[in-house]
């Protein structure tokens, strides 16, 4: 099983092209408030994660996801 | 502040007011026929009404509504669960079930209530819903209320649906798959043969919203599943009475006897008053007409092809195939508003659609065709679009025919 840090690392690399402000990403970086992802960009990002881990991320969990760390925990949970 | 989230909309309304255009909530002051009216003081051809078969002004439907109002009164004043089930409602449920060749039907007070109510109730916590990404707002509202896991598949993409069903493993055969027949904004038709094949491979239950396809597609007007020959794969058909049937209301029909128990678990059915008997009576009359007069569908498609071909020949960015909904996609909001306004000035009312109602970040000039449009009216609509090009308000994006 991949640990939390590996999930984080994948998310950092997956965000590379969408991190237009060139922020230093951490688990506390907010996807929308900090990086400024649009709703369309969020969905593209989610799809990238889904295909990488071969999972589906239900829309209903997204309201609880604000930061990269929140998402890493959810993806780890779904990929167990 | 409580109201902060409405500021964007308030700003947009202010912008429209400043430009003296009213694309949203434009007031129809007079209806002259199924295809003509006076909107915001201007005589216009109605090309954005979803009145696909033009039955809103059929004298038989009007007479049925008048007789029912005289006989039953103006409203039921109660829920179907309590005092609001009149024999008219029951008769319509039998007739809509018979129309679809199944045994069970529920009639709702609106189409929104039908899809929202069914989608919020069929699946619950612990279940999984797979819905087409371009599903109608009523479907999104319903699935959100359901408490089920909600997974989107790419619009009209059976491969993506298959991939997501595969990922569910053993849970796939309990999943609720949601699609529409004709999608309301761009008029594109779901690839139902392929979706049905995916469902047969992985299992699951298929819920199909035929709101824009009932009356328009299929040998007897049952919709896109009938046209694709896959009705046996559909577990639940939903639809509306407010488009091809020219009234208001919604329905769900199914071969599953469990629909009778589901009926009394749907808040949108229980906690709202049932439709006025006059509405039910005109819907029953319209259902008889679409059964007996298949030529209405032929006329609708003649008009759909005429408009689609005309706009395509102008080089305008319309969808891949002709459909009763013909949408012109634009990227710039301000230019789209100018075009909408110019169409009104030219005597043509269409729908202006902005994100998120449109399926992408694009803006739409959405036209809906009616069997009641004359060829001359369709040509007038096309000429109005040609006027947009001449005025430099829109640039053709392809060479057309």
Sorted by where each starts, the structural domains of chain B and their CATH numbers stand as 4-57+294-390 (3.90.1150.10), 59-292 (3.40.640.10)
DSSP characters for B32-89? -SSSEEEETTEEEEE-SS--TT-GGG-HHHHHHHHHHHHHH-S---SBTTTT---HHH
Q: What whole-number distance in Å separates Cα of residue B333 and Cα of residue A15?
A: 29
Residues of chain B whose C-beta is under 8 A from some C-beta in A? 128, 144, 148-152, 164, 167-168, 361
pLDDT tens-digit map of B175-231: 999 999 999 999 999 999 999 999 999 999 999 999 999 999 999 999 999 999 999
Phi, psi of B254 (to 5 degrees): -160, 155
Is the Cβ pair B150, A58 closer than 8 Å? yes
Which residues of chain A make contact with B8, given a CB cutoff of 8 A? Answer: none
Walk me through the domains of chain A, giving residue ranges and CATH numbers: 4-78 (1.10.1200.10)
Q: How far is B299 from chain A (nearest CA, A)?
A: 39
In the predicted model, is pLDDT for residue A38 greater than 90? no
Best mutation target, B123, B142, B143, B151, to test chain A (most A CBs within 10 A): B151
Which residues of chain B make contact with A55, given a CB cutoff of 8 A? Answer: 167
Are B387 and B341 in contact, with CB atoms under 8 Å apart? no
Structure tokens at B390: 């001449």
pLDDT tens-digit map of B298-333: 999 999 999 999 999 999 999 888 999 999 999 999
CA B51 to centroid of chain Cα atoms:
10
pLDDT tens-digit map of B225-264: 999 999 999 999 999 999 999 999 999 999 999 999 999 9
In the DSSP assignment, the letter for residue B15 is H
In the DSSP assignment, the letter for residue A60 is G
Cβ atoms within 10 Å, residue B396: 12
pLDDT tens-digit map of A1-37: 458 999 999 999 999 888 888 889 999 999 999 999 8
Quote the ipTM score: 0.90
């Amino acid at each position: 099983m991949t640990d939390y840090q590996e999930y984080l690392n994948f998310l950092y690399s997956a965000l590379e092209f969408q991190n237009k402000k060139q922020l230093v990403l951490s688990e506390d970086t907010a996807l929308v408030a900090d990086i400024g992802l649009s709703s369309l960009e969020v969905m593209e990002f989610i799809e990238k994660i889904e295909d990488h881990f071969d999972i589906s991320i239900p829309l209903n969990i997204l309201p609880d996801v604000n930061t990269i760390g929140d998402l890493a925990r959810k993806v780890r949970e779904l990929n167990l | 502040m409580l109201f902060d989230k409405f500021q964007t909309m308030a700003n947009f309304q202010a912008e429209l007011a400043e430009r003296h255009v009213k694309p949203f909530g434009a007031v129809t002051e007079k209806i002259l026929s199924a295809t003509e009216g006076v909107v915001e003081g201007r005589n216009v051809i109605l090309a954005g009404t979803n009145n696909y078969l033009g039955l809103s002004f059929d004298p038989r439907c009007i007479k049925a509504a008048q007789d029912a109002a005289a006989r039953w009164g103006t409203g039921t004043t109660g829920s179907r669960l309590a005092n609001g089930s009149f024999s008219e409602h029951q008769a319509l449920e039998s007739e809509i079930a018979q129309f679809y060749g199944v045994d069970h039907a529920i009639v709702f007070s609106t189409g929104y209530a039908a899809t929202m109510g069914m989608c919020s109730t069929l699946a619950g916590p612990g279940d999984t819903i797979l819905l087409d990404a371009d599903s109608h707002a009523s479907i999104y509202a319903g699935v959100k209320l359901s408490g089920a896991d909600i997974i989107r598949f790419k619009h009209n993409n059976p491969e993506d649906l298959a991939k997501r069903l595969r990922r569910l493993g053993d849970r796939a055969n309990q999943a609720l798959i949601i699609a529409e027949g004709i999608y309301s904004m761009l008029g594109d038709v779901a690839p139902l043969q392929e979706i049905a094949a995916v469902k047969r491979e992985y299992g699951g239950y298929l819920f199909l919203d035929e709101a824009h396809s009932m009356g328009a597609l299929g040998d007897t007007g049952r919709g896109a599943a009938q046209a694709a020959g896959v009705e046996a794969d559909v577990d639940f058909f939903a639809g509306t009475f407010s488009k091809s049937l020219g009234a208001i209301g919604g329905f769900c029909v199914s071969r599953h006897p469990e629909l009778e128990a589901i009926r009394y678990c749907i808040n949108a059915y229980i906690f709202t008053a049932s439709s006025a008997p006059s509405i039910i009576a005109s819907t029953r009359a319209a259902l008889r007409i679409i059964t007996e007069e298949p030529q209405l569908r032929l006329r609708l498609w003649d008009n759909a092809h005429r408009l689609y071909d005309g706009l395509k020949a102008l080089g305008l960015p319309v969808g891949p195939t002709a459909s009763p909904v013909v949408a012109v996609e634009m990227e710039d909001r301000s230019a789209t508003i100018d075009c909408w306004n110019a169409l009104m000035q030219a005597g043509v009312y269409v729908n202006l659609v902005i994100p998120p109602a449109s399926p992408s970040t694009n803006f739409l000039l959405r036209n809906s065709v009616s069997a009641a449009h004359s060829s001359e009216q369709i040509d007038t609509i096309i000429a109005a679009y040609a006027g947009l090009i001449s005025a430099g308000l829109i640039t053709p994006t392809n060479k057309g025919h």
